[in-house]
Amino acid sequence: MDTNREEIQLLKDVGEKKYYKMSEVLEFLKEQDQEEVPRTTVNGWLNEFEDLLGIKRNNRNHRLFTMENIKLLKAIKKAKKKGATNEHIREKLQELSKSTNATKETALTNINPNSFGVKEIENNAKIQEVIQYIIDKSVKEAEAKFEEMLNRKLEEQEQRIRGQIESENKKLMDYIATTRKEEKKKSFWIKCKIYS
């Protein structure tokens, strides 16, 4: 019986309009696409956009949602699913808040998530793809240039090492030749001594 009185009091507090509780709002949001929205998420939206949603409170400070509020929350849910940022949503809500009640009602029934900046997000995604393509292409070109430079340096180093090896081989061969000549001279004199 107390619950019934509270509901009657809620309706009296705000006049003749029909107002909904948070639990009912969550049900409306779920009906939209059969996906539940956590209460904490809705509370986050309410905290973020409270100044633009125009949600009234009763004398117990409970939020009282109108069908217009629910339509806005549905539009926010749809826009969030499409990737809209809070800034885009805020801009659109500010535009709606400047509308007259008649145009606001029309705008709410015809809300398009693209009006929340989703087109810009899609464009940004395309720009990101182009940027990624340019980065990938630049990386491949840089890798090719690096590989070419590395191969050139390796060839230069290989030639320098071959030159050093050839130089050392020549010195070694000269040493061996000189040593053999000296050995032959010694051997000649040794033979001469033996025969003498």
Domain extents for the chain?
2-116, 117-196
In this structure, what token pair is assigned to residue 63?
């939020």
CB atoms within 10 A of CB 148: 10
Q: What is the pLDDT of residue 53?
A: 86
Phi, psi of 57 (to 5 degrees): -130, 150
Per-residue pLDDT of the chain (196 residues; tens, 9 = 90+): 455 555 555 554 545 558 888 999 999 898 878 889 999 999 999 999 988 888 888 889 889 998 888 888 988 888 888 888 888 888 888 887 776 555 554 554 455 555 555 566 666 777 788 888 899 999 999 999 999 999 999 999 999 999 999 999 999 999 999 988 888 877 777 767 766 6
Q: What is the pLDDT of residue 164?
A: 95
Q: What is the pLDDT of residue 149?
A: 95
Q: What is the pLDDT of residue 80?
A: 86
Q: How far is CA 27 from CA 39, 64, 71, 73, 135, in A?
A: 11, 15, 13, 12, 46
Q: Are 77 and 36 in contact (CB under 8 A)?
A: no
Q: What is the pLDDT of residue 184?
A: 81
Domain boundaries 2-116, CATH class: mainly alpha
Element (H, E) at 64: strand 63-64
